[in-house]
Amino acid sequence: MGTTLIYDERSVYYGSFRNKWFPVSNLIAGHIPRYPADMTRILGITAHPDDEVGAFGGTLLLYHSQGIETYVICLTRGEAATNRGEAKSNQELASIRSAEFFASCKVLQITQAQILNYPDGGLNRQDFFSVVGDLTRRVREIRPDIILTMGPEGAITGHPDHSMASIFATMTFHWSARKNCYPEQLSESLMPHQARKLYYSTASFILPDRPPVSPPPCSATIDITQFLEEKIQASREHATQAPLMARFAQAMRKHGREELFHLAATNQPSVLKPETDLLAGLK
């Protein structure tokens, strides 16, 4: 898989690419700081750089403004993208998009962001047990209350990597709580962790020029009106994806004042009810 890239707003090391400075620190598995158990945390798990903006950028900004710690784990560096900016190779594109991801996360005021460096366009060919174990390790380190990801349909684009990120994140939500899953991690003082809720991002529309998808029904509506411009600003940090981001900004100003989610799992069995707060029901 290679070395993980990490950005942490509390301890940032800076590197540069094409004269643009961005936060980056090398991290090996098991070396994420242990955080106090009494802090509320939200973790987003995505497939590509820029997913963090489109899926739940406004929601992360909203909860950060309320004193909630926010985290994003991106599984790939986005080297297989169609839009490539000035990149001359996949490796160069991966470096540029990594820098863009960290710059976007800084605008979104993410507490900590990581890129795990799995192959873009190839998540469906990775060893399932290993990827979930990798994510389980990080959930046990970060210890989030809420996990956000995309739906198994692949979000509105139907991208297979989005689908796999959803499936990996879903099983991570369940297995990170169990002592019989990845028990070797327990010997490293990584205790099981049961997150409280799992949400899939969803949408109230589909794209006619994309593969057919069946989005999960909305159960939570989050008003992000006050953070709309910051979300659009974060999208602009993904300069290699400018043709897409221009359309994204236009759509956001027209339809993007709410982010929609589907409550996929909760550790307190209940009847599904409409929500306007992802923290609803948490003590």
pLDDT digits (tens, 9 = 90+) for 164-203: 999 999 999 999 999 999 999 999 989 999 999 999 999 9
| E strand intervals along the chain | 4-8, 14-17, 20-23, 25-27, 41-46, 69-76, 112-118, 146-150, 197-202, 220-223, 258-266
What CATH number corresponds to the domain at position 118?
A: 3.40.50.10320
- Burial (Cβ within 10 Å: 0-12, 13-18, ≥19) of residue 134: buried
Residue whose token pair is 């987003």: 44
The confidence band for 251, taking pLDDT boundaries of 50, 70 and 90, is confident
Question: Among 36-40, 157-161, 249-253, where is mean pLDDT lowest?
Answer: 36-40
Residue 146 within any structural domain of the chain: yes
Give the range of the structural domain holding residue 94, as residue numbers without chain letter: 4-266
Chain CA centroid to CA 186, Å: 25
What is the average per-residue pLDDT within 109-124?
96
Residue 43 within any structural domain of the chain: yes
The pLDDT tens digits for 60-97 are 999 999 999 999 999 999 999 989 988 999 999 999 99
Instruction: Provide, rounded to the nearest whole percent, the portion of the chain with pLDDT above 90.
Output: 74
Q: Residue 10 has what pLDDT?
A: 63
Residue 283 within any structural domain of the chain: no
Question: Among 17-31, 49-63, 76-90, 134-148, where is mean pLDDT lowest?
Answer: 17-31
The confidence band for 28, taking pLDDT boundaries of 50, 70 and 90, is very low
- The 10 Å CB-count burial string (b at 16+, else e) for 136-158 is bbbbbbbbbbbbbbbbbbbbbbb
- Burial (Cβ within 10 Å: 0-12, 13-18, ≥19) of residue 269: exposed
Chain CA centroid to CA 104, Å: 12
- Burial (Cβ within 10 Å: 0-12, 13-18, ≥19) of residue 126: middle
CA quadruple 198, 203, 208, 210: dihedral sign: negative
Domains of the chain: total: 1
Q: Residue 171 has what pLDDT?
A: 98
State how far the Cα of 99 lies from the Cα of 79, in Å rounded to an integer.
12
Pinpoint the alpha helices (H) of 152-200.
160-175
The pLDDT tens digits for 121-136 are 999 999 999 999 999 9
Angstrom distances, CA of residue 228 to CA of 164, 234, 252: 28, 10, 8
C-beta of residue 266 within 8 angstroms of C-beta of residue 198:
yes
Residue 280 within any structural domain of the chain: no
Residue 150 within any structural domain of the chain: yes
Nearest to 185 by CA among 225, 233, 137, 145: 137
Residue 141 within any structural domain of the chain: yes
Residue 75 within any structural domain of the chain: yes
Residue 275 within any structural domain of the chain: no
If one counts every other C-beta atom within 10 angstroms of the C-beta of residue 233, the result is 16
If one counts every other C-beta atom within 10 angstroms of the C-beta of residue 257, the result is 15
